[in-house]
Each structure stands twice: as C-alpha cells, then as structure tokens.
Structure 1
Amino acid sequence: MPRVLIIEDDRAVRDGLLLALRRQGHEVRAAATGEEGLELLRSFHPDAVVLDLMLPGMSGLEVCRRARAHGQVPIIMATARGDDTDIVVGLEAGADDYVVKPVRARVLDARIRAVLRRAGGPPDELSTPRTEHYGDLAIDRAGLTVTHQGRPVALGPSELRLLLTLSASAGQVFSRQQLLEAVWEHSYHGDARLVDACVKRLRAKIGEPAGSPRHVHTVRGFGYRFGTR
C-alpha cells in the first residue's frame, strides 16, 4: 500500500484529500504545517509527498528544499494558482510534479502513482545491465546510480528518469512533449515547465557549466538531446 504524506494547512482540503486518497488505496498521514510535515517525513517514511506551496510559517518551498536535502522522496506540489512563476520556483526547489487547486482526487491519485512508477526505476527497455561512461559522468543502468568525477550524484526520480531516457538514445533530439510522455507520463500539452525545470536541476547536479553544457544540450525551439562535448 503506497504511503502518502499530505502537508496542507487548509483543514477542509486536507481532510478531503485524506479521505479520497485512502479510498484510492493509499496509507495516508497529514500535517497542517511545514514543521509538522518534516517531522512526519522522518517518522512516517512516505513513498510520496503532496505539498501545499502556500503554507503559513515555514513555506512550502522551504519544506521542499529541506526534504530534498534529506532524501529523494517524490514530491507533488499543490498550488492555488497556475502562476508560471510560482510553479517554476517550486519545480526548481525540487518538486517532481504539480497540481493546481482545487485538486481533483482522481487526478492526484494518477499523479501519485506516476511518480511512484518513476521512483521505481526506468522502463524495462532502459534497464540494460551495464555502466556507461561519458567523460567524467558514469551511468549504471542496472544499479540506477550516477557518478560525476567518481562521486555519487543524488538524483530525484524525475531527474534520473530524464537522464536515462536522454542517454539511452544519445544524439537523438527529444521534444518537450516526448519527454513529458516518457518521464512524467503526461499525454497533454502545456507543461514544458516540468521538463525545463528538471533539466536545470539535472545539469546543476551533474556539473554542467552554465551556458555550456557537456551532456544535456538544448535544441532551440524543439527540445533536448544527450551528447558529449
């Protein structure tokens, strides 16, 4: 049974999501503040977190950053507005996906199950038992580990799946929509922000120089490709 932590200050919203997700077969705990949420994160050990962006006191962004500093649990950010700035800032803080309030329970359940599949590893066809070396970057597909200059790189589920998807077809250009479908399992248009924010986080973690990436290259007006430079 998937373990889900909800961090949401609005009691009506919190209770509604708690009940709905339990009906969908999840084991759920809920917190009303960021501080309480971080405590539950350490004691409850959830498989996924649903995090309200606009929390009182400690903000949802700070909770996201602290959660990321202690582990790679998938985080779905909930925002009351579809504002581009709020969403991009949240994604860059480490969120794996987002939903806009009012949250529909079935949509949230689908997003949770998608991030859990991503956290479980890449598609079978990408799980070839070998380690690939690209300069100072090494990708172990069997062990689902990445090292840069010999040091382990802690990638979130979306970042890892993005890297595995791109590197499995080095040289091939992927549109943002193709990456949304392969990595996030989103079949609809309009969420290029997910891809761009994840690429930005991935580049930072694998030591890509600002403005001159060695591995994850932007193809202007289309998307991204993996290569060495």
Structure 2
Amino acid sequence: MQTKTLLIIDDDKELTTLLCEYLTPQGYEIDLAHDGEEGLNKATSHNHYDLILLDVMLPKLDGFEVLKRLRQSHLTPVLMLTAKGDDFDKVFGLELGADDYLPKPFNHRELSARIKAIVRRMDYLPASSSQQQIQIDDLTITPSTQSVSCSNINIEMTATEFLILHLLMINSGHIVSKQDISEKVMGRKLMAFDRSIDMHLSNIRRKLAEHSTLEKIKTVRGTGYLFVAHT
C-alpha cells in the first residue's frame, strides 16, 4: 500500500503520541497540530493529506470552526473525534462536511478500521475513472474527475457525498438500503442510532436543491433511499 499521510489535530499530546506509535507501523505518515489555528494552517497549506483526524475541543479555534473554514477551499476527508454520547457534535460535524465521526474515548482498533475505510473510499475514486459519465435529468456526475453538475453548474461534494450519490444514481429507480450504503460507501456495517448516512443525504439534497426544483432522492421509510428519474 502506498504510504498515506494523516494530519492529527488534537491538543492531547499524550494521546497524539500514542496514536503516532500505533499508526506509524501500519504504514501511515503522521503530522501533528495541537491547536485549531496550527491545524487549519497545515490543512490548507501545500501539504497533501489523505485524511485529517480532527478533535472538536481545541484551543484557539475549535474543531467545528476549523472544519467550516477548511471546507471553503478543501475537500480533504475529515474524521471528527467527538465527545462520547454528544449527538450534537456528531450531527453538527457531519452538517459541516465531516466524512465520519468517532466518539472519544475510542478503541484503537476501531479508529484504525475507520481510517482504512475512508482511505479505501478515496482510493476507489481514481479506480472508478473507467466508469462512464452518468446523466439523469439535469444532473450529471463524472467518476473520473469526481465532479457533479446540476443545471450545468458545478457542485462541490466530499468524496463520501459523491460516492453515495453515485451509488443511488447507478441504481436509479431501485431502493438502496441504508445497510448497503453503509457497507459499500462507509465501509462498515450499519450501527444502531448512526446518523451519518442521514446527514450525508441531507447535505447532498441541500446542495442539489440550490440548482434544481426536481426532487431527486426520496426516503422510503424503514427501507432506504430511491433516486428518481423524471424523464
């Protein structure tokens, strides 16, 4: 596996030291930042990071503000580290464009699994370049460039949002279950009370609704989601 570079933004120096010791032997190159300003500067510099681990509680700039500013210019995948049981942190982070979240304190194996799932997600995108452009009504997605356009206007989406939309569009007219989305996109089994897929779908709908009046994604209660073609 090609070496992946991770940026960990967390003010707990003891934890970041342990994470470096745990993740480096797995083939990751680790960069650290211990406050929000330093983290944002590194995340938006010329350094290329495959993934950012971002704590919510940070000095100078909190994790939400870091993510908000980051998403103005960068689509780097972000794994939020949230307070255990704090649903607000989880939902708000996903609304701002986080790709996934993990409550603290976490099991190191679970962290490693989440990182690998996101990295695989990113690696899938170049591999999908041979797939043809998909156009349904006024919406077009191009796997080779991970681009989305609606009514001929380009829409920026995170890798997670793009892959969910791609999965729904290639199954247009058929219900895609949350379990399928979780396994095929998130890289894990669907967990009880996991709001991540709902929030990603909410972000996708919001972005599409800014440029189209057509309802594209329907929720089939208790079953999953359906992409609707109007022509």
- Residue 162 of structure 2 corresponds to residue 185 of structure 1: no
Identity %: 36
In the other structure, the counterpart of 1:46 is 49
What residue ranges of structure 2 are gaps of 5+ in the alignment?
Answer: none
Question: Can you list the C-alpha shifts for 1:92-127, whole angstroms capped at 9, x where unaligned?
Answer: 111101111123222222211211221233597x76
Conserved? CA contact 1:3–1:27, under 8 Å: yes
Conserved? CA contact 1:176–1:192, under 8 Å: no
Q: Distance in 2 between matches of 1:174 and 1:157?
A: 19
Q: CA deviation at 1:207?
A: 2.5
Which residue identity lines up with residue 222 of structure 1 in the other structure?
A: T
Q: 1:144 to 1:191 in 2, by over 3 A?
A: farther
Runs of 4+ aligned residues of structure 1 deviating over 4 Å after TM superposition are: none
Q: Distance in 2 between matches of 1:142 and 1:159?
A: 15
In the other structure, the counterpart of 1:219 is 220
Q: Distance in 2 between matches of 1:193 and 1:29?
A: 29
In the other structure, the counterpart of 2:32 is 30
In the other structure, the counterpart of 1:171 is 173
Q: CA deviation at 1:140?
A: 1.9
Conserved? CA contact 1:121–1:161, under 8 Å: no
SS in 1 for 2:209: coil
Q: 1:141 aligns with which of 115, 132, 143?
A: 143
SS in 2 for 1:49: strand
SS in 1 for 2:226: strand
Q: CA deviation at 1:80?
A: 2.3
Calculate the aligned-residue CA RMSD, in Å.
Answer: 2.2
- Residue 77 of structure 2 corresponds to residue 77 of structure 1: no
Question: Can you list the C-alpha shifts for 1:148-190, whole angstroms capped at 9, x where unaligned?
Answer: 1212221101001101111111111122222111110112422
Q: CA deviation at 1:217?
A: 1.1
Matches of residues 191-210 of structure 1 in structure 2 within 5 Å?
192-207=194-209
Q: Distance in 2 between matches of 1:166 and 1:30?
A: 37
Q: CA deviation at 1:198?
A: 0.3
Aligned residues: 227
Q: 2:124 aligns with which of 112, 121, 125?
A: 121
